Each structure stands twice: as structure tokens, then as C-alpha cells.
Structure 1
Amino acid sequence: MILYFSATGNIQYAVQQIAKATGDTIVSIRNHIEDEHPRFHLKDHENFGIVMPTYFQGLPAFVQDFLKMMKLTMDGTDHYAYSVATCGMSDGNFGSQAVKAMKNSGLALDSTLCIRMVDNWNPHFDMTDRSYIEQAEQRTETDIEKVCAQIAAKEKGIFLPDHFGHDKEEELAKAYEQSRKTENFTVNESCIGCGMCARQCPVHAIGIKHKSPEWIKEQCILCLGCVHKCPKNAIAYTENTIGHGQYTNPNIKTIK
């Protein structure tokens, strides 16, 4: 079983390749993200993987909460468990945070791995830079091939060391909480009222009023799916995203 979360298709594409290499089933936490106690069951000898994006240099807070609340039952004891961080530049403290979040599940992680992908955090990265995109996509294929081989071989090892200490980790966690306020989103006049943003929002933070998106929750998870999936590029997350284009994984047509 591979649990994953994808907003723009990067993680979904990586998970599909891992599943091809291992034969494992794929489960999107989009369908369970608001469950009070999400429940999953592992068959005897079944692998367990979590493949998630890196937000603010770590495992996203909503994923940490999800894993801590998750109820995992198992047949037998022979289960290879791993986490895969997907990131553009740095995995930060993702590895240790994943290990901690999994402690309550009764299944300790055997390995922590990383796949570098296109970083579409477009407040900082320019998605109109084709040279960067092409280089990052090539690097992704190399990393996916390596990680698939490691998982298929059930390689063990905590391969993601922390990049900073506890104080910096707390600082970044606070920055994430501040940044995920939906007041930071705006929509311009090119919006056609198609409702794509509301349909794809995993936490239902967007409603449609008078054929225009309206953020109906004070916070979202800051996946930026609404920004990148908008067919008219009408949604901005702060003024820093304006002019920085959009990026969704070209191998994925429908986000699940």
C-alpha cells in the first residue's frame, strides 16, 4: 500500500512508477484527509509507503496530523515501510518528521528516501523558465528510477538526515501556519467561473459565488492546486506568483 497526496500531479506520477516496480496498491489521502480516524489494513508481507510533498522544509503539518490519527491494522509482522519526500531543492527535516509521525501506527519506517522534482512553489520559482523545468524533469526520472530500485530491493536505512535544528523547525512550522491563510489568495477578471478550483480543493476551502471563487475557510493546506490548475491562470497566491506561470505534471491528466 502506498499512501500519497498530490495537488499538481508530481507525487501522483512518482507513485505510479513506484507501484509499477513493486506491485503495491495506491491510496490517495484526498479521499480520507478529513476523516477523524482514517483506517487502513495491511495484508501479510505487504509494503507500506508514504509519498508526500515537502512543505516549508518538512513533512506537511496536515500529513503529520493524518499519520498520527491513522489507525493501521496488519496481518503478520513482515512489512517493509518507507517514506519518500518529494522536493525541488531540499527535503529539510522531512525524514525525522515522518519517522515521528509514524510512531503511533505500530509500524516503524525502514527507510526514508527522496525524489527531486519540479519545484512549483511559484511564489519563488518561475514556471515560465523552460530551461529549469526541463532540467528538473530529467533529474526526476533519474531519482524515480533509483528510489524504485531501493524500494523493490527493500533497502533499509534512514537516508534523509535533518538539515537544521529544533528551533529552525519550529520557526518554519509557524511560518507555514501563517502562510496558509486564505486571505492571501486573489482572483482576477480573467476568471470564467468554471469551478475547477473548488472541485480540486482537498479541504473544500473554496466555494463558488456569483460564478467566482470565494475562499470560505480561513485556512487551507496551501497545496496551490487552485493556482496551478486554473485554466485561465486567474488565481494568485500573493502578488509574488503573478507572472510566474503554472506547472502541473505533464504525465498526469486528472489529479486523484
Structure 2
Amino acid sequence: MVGFTLAEQETARLREIVDGFRDVGEEPIPWSVLEGLSGLLHTDDISLGGYCIVPAHVWFINGIERGERCADTETPEQALSNPFWQHYWQATCSYPDRTGDFDSVTLESDFLSLREIRRLSRAGETAPFDREIMAPLRLSPTHQLRVVGWRTTGSDFTDRDRFYLTLLRPHIQDHYRRWARAHPPSAGLTRRQLAVLSLVRDGFTNHQIGRRLDLSEGTVRTHLNHVYERLGVASRTAAVTAVYGNAGP
């Protein structure tokens, strides 16, 4: 990446955004941070979302759209009729999953010309924006966070914008892990399911869990299948990540 010298004003804005990560509140990312990012990158819309590839769905998304705060969730069932997922593997947004590159901050213009972007937008295969910047943050083989910023028209994002997101990405990931530990989505799990999952987190096999909880190995598998269904995940690692926030790199 090209080296940059940051002006005092830029440094102050970045410091203000980083300071916004200090406290863990009710939202996966502080609204002040999203608003600060939107101002720093000069976006029309910006969001942080949690994306699950198997089964495909966005388990949360918080965004700033035209200056307004918005939050939403999606179940795997709802995702089946979402055009985003129907075109996902053919679209540029699947680049991290197709290549394993979760380090690069990418622009849509890295892959498509403006004419192609507008043609796909008219066809409903991409978001209705001319410019996009994306920073993925991998949590597990199936779960990731994504910061995505859009501009409806005007100039493209720049290498300086990539640099900003590269600097801030570790702070975003660290804050989300702290938030996930403080807000485990365990309200819908039974005490027995949580007991099984806690032993999964500690590295025990189904056979070992059964012996500890006086359950058959088949019953342990049944409990885990119910956990996966409740959390909308498909693996032991993803379930532990969803509830405890301490799995993955």
C-alpha cells in the first residue's frame, strides 16, 4: 500500500473514531463510530454487518443511510428470497470467500468498470450505488464481519480511504468480540443446550460430552443440531463463536 502522511485533522478524526470503541453498549458497533466512518469516508450509506455463508444470511446489520441510523436482521429462511444471496457467488462481494483474501480492502471498481457497475445495478444484481468500498473481517470459516461504504454518484473511493479502513479494522474486530462476549444470543437455548455447547467450547468430543452429562452420543448430536437451528449456523465452531465470541482467529 502506498505510504501516507496524515494531516493533523485526519489524525484527530481517526483518534475520535478509535475513542468511540472504548465502551461496549447495546449495538455491535457504536453509532458514533459508524457516523464518524461515514464522515471520514464521505459515504452516502455505510454499514457493519455480520454475514454467515452457510446457511446464507446476515445475522445483523447496522448502518447509516443518508444520515439516519438503521438496524436489521435476517434469518436463513428470509435469505432464501433475498436477491443479494441469489447473485452472491457471481458478484464481486463474494471475492473474499472465493479467494480466501480477507486482508484486502477492496473497491468495486477493482473488478468492474463504472459502466458495468451501472448495468448490473439496473438489472438488480448489485446495490444501486456507483461506488463501493468493503473491508471484510473473518471470525470463523463461515462467519465474517463486513464494513461496506457506498457513494451514489461522484468520485470513487481512493487508496487513502483503503488506508483508513485498514487502520481501523483491528479496532472494529476487537470491539465486536468484546460486544459478543457481553451479549451472547443464548436466551433461546435451554440450559441443557448451553451445557453441551460450553463443553464443545472447551474442546470435548460428543462422546466425552455424553459421559460428562450422562447422555448418549446421539442425544448430544440432537442437542447440537437444535443449537445450530436456533442460532442459524452449521458448525460447532460457528455456534461457539455466535454464543461466546471467542472462536476463530
Q: Which has the higher contact order (CA 8 A, sep 6+)?
A: 1
Q: Please say which structure displays the higher CA radius of gyration.
A: 2
Taking structure 1 as the reference length, what is the TM-score of the superposition?
A: 0.29
More helix by share: 2
